[in-house]
Amino acid sequence: MKISSDHPVKIAIIGAGNVGATFAYALLGSGLASQIVLIDNNKERAEGEAMDLNHAVPLTHSTRIWAGDYSDCAGAAITVITAGTAQRPGETRLDLSQRNFAILKSVIEQIVKYNPEGLLLIASNPLDVLCYAAMKLSGLPASRVIGSGTILDTARFRYLLSQHAGVDPRSVHAFIIGEHGDSEVPVWSSANIAGMALADYCQMNCEEYNSEIYDKIFEQTRDAAYQIIERKGATFYGIGMGLVRICEAILRGQHTVLSVSTLIHDYYDIDDVYLSLPCIIDREGVSKFLRLPLNEKEKDGLQKSAKVLKETIHSLGL
């Protein structure tokens, strides 16, 4: 459905596990939605989360929250998919592809039945592969099938760089692109603070400055999920907030640049695959991806990332 200010904004969340429930909580706090429906094949889990969330309503924003079924997707401005199994310690995101593809198939069929013109925002892994599958299965235009992509990886990267540089993470401008996963790529060539190239800024302002530190910052970014899963079993706060940020950009038509997963065509010989690049997001979804100029190393990295994703997509028969 087209988003207009006359209608109450309904957000449907498929999967009320760690990510779905955390997103619902952050969404409630944002005041962006007037209706939040939680749908999970574990109905009791969805009911429990809805009950718990409702007890926060008197303290935040007037919002109707309930555990529903797929017919409740009708009229949702955005349907957010978080259903699926999560990584166990040691598992990669791509290891989840067969299991979560089967779940996605059943979920998309139901969503599209009740909300054929909706907008899908996907968080389940393997993210980019499932986004491509969702676009094919739903028949929706690619602009309306969006993956949270590297919004989380980019946030992790900015946070770690900010710790090194001693500035607010919001003043660090740097992107992680490609797969939301092991083959992701840091774009060092355009990373900046206050318009100063990161290298120049750090040479003048950081106590230590060498390539080993930067390699370590990227490794910590890429491997953050493994580190967190080893310690607490799952990651959900960063992605919960990332999903709210994407919803805000859509619902308010902000034309914000965020690194999300979208269908790429004709970019450094990469075609017909979902991966993350900085994208402009407005009321219709992804209005375009930005053709970042990359250096040779970044370009090679992105092409490798696209290859890994294409192989997984083909292994699913898509």
* Residue 315 found at the interface with ligand NAD (CB under 6 A): no
Sorted by sequence, the CB contacts under 8 Å of residue 113 that are 6+ apart come out as 70
Task: Name residues whose C-beta falls within 8 Å of residue 12's C-beta, 6 or more positions apart in sequence.
Answer: 37, 39, 68, 72, 73, 76, 78, 79, 80, 111, 115
Closest CA to 82 of 103, 113, 52: 103
Q: Is 228 in the site for ligand NAD (CB under 6 A)?
A: no
**Any contact of residue 56 with ligand NAD (CB under 6 A)?**
no
**Nearest distance, CB of residue 234 and ligand NAD, angstroms:** 4
3: helix, strand or coil: coil
Asked if 144 and 285 count as a contact pair (C-beta separation under 8 A), the reply is yes
Tell which one of 9, 11, 17, 174 touches ligand NAD (CB under 6 A): 17
Q: Does 15 bind ligand NAD (CB under 6 A)?
A: yes
Residue in the shown chain whose Cβ atom is closest to ligand NAD? 17
Taking the complex as a whole, the smallest distance from the CB of residue 85 to ligand NAD amounts, in Å, to 6
Among 100, 143, 262, 305, binds ligand NAD (CB under 6 A): 100
Binding range to ligand NAD, per CB under 6 A, among 50-58, 82-90, 169-177, 305-313: 82-90
Binding of ligand NAD by 107 (CB under 6 A): yes
7 is catalytic: no
Tell which one of 97, 148, 154, 276 touches ligand NAD (CB under 6 A): 148
Instruction: Give CA–CA dist 106/242, Å, rounded.
Output: 25
Q: Of 58, 68, 57, nearest to 13 (Cα)?
A: 68
* Binding region for ligand NAD (CB under 6 A) out of 81-89, 160-168, 182-190, 194-202: 81-89
Question: Residue 147: CB partners within 8 Å, gap ≥ 6?
Answer: 121, 122, 123, 127, 128, 130, 131, 180, 260, 261, 262, 274, 276
- Are 223 and 157 in contact by the 8 Å Cβ rule? The answer is no
Subset of residues 270 to 309 that bind ligand NAD, contact rule: CB under 6 A: none
By CB under 6 A, the residues from 163 to 182 that bind ligand NAD are 180
- If binding is defined by CB under 6 A, does position 72 make contact with ligand NAD? no
Backbone angles phi, psi at 150, to 5 degrees: -95, 25
Assess 97 for contact with ligand NAD (CB under 6 A): no
Pair 162, 169: CB distance under 8 Å: yes
> Among residues 173, 180, 255, 314, which one is catalytic?
180
Element (H, E) at 186: strand 185-186
Exactly one of 63, 79, 82, 276 binds ligand NAD (CB under 6 A); that residue is 82
Q: Coil, helix or strand for 177?
A: strand
Q: What positions carry a catalytic annotation?
A: 180
Residues at the interface with ligand NAD (CB under 6 A)? 14-20, 40-42, 45, 82-84, 86-87, 96, 100, 103, 106-107, 123-125, 127, 148, 152, 180, 234-236, 239
